[in-house]
Amino acid sequence: MSTLVDLYPSRIAPSPSLSPRRDPVLHDPAGVETRGPLSRDALLEFERDGFVVLDDLFSPGEMAACLDELGALGRDEAVRASEEAITEPDSGALRSLFAVHRTSEIFADLAEDPRLVEVAHQVLASDVYIHQSRVNLKPALHGQPFFWHSDFETWHVEDGMPRMRAVSASVALTDNTEFNGPLMLVPGSHHSFVSCVGETPDDHYRSSLKRQEIGTPDPESLRTLVERGGIVAPKAKAGSVVLFGCNTMHASGVNLAPYPRSNAFFVYNSVENRVGEPFGPARPRPEFLASRSTITPLG
How far is Cα 296 from Cα 299, in angstroms, rounded to an integer?
A: 10
What homologous superfamily is domain 55-273 in, according to CATH?
Answer: q2cbj1_9rhob like domain (2.60.120.620)
Share of the chain above pLDDT 90, in %: 70
- HSE value, Cβ hemisphere, 13 Å, CA-based, for 238: 16
Give pLDDT tens digits for 162-205. Answer: 999 999 999 999 999 999 999 999 999 999 999 999 888 777 76
Percent of the chain whose pLDDT exceeds 70: 94
Cα-to-chain-centroid distance, residue 141: 23
Distance CA(79)–CA(31), nearest Å, equals 43
Q: What is the pLDDT of residues 250-259, one digit of tens each?
A: 999 888 999 8
Over the stretch 24-59, which tens digit does the pLDDT of each residue have?
999 876 656 557 899 999 999 999 999 999 999 999
**End-to-end CA gap in the chain:** 33
- Report domain extents, the chain: 55-273
pTM of the model: 0.94
Cβ burial of 127 (10 Å; 0-12, 13-18, 19+) is middle
For the stretch 125-149, pLDDT in tens is 999 999 999 998 888 887 788 889 9
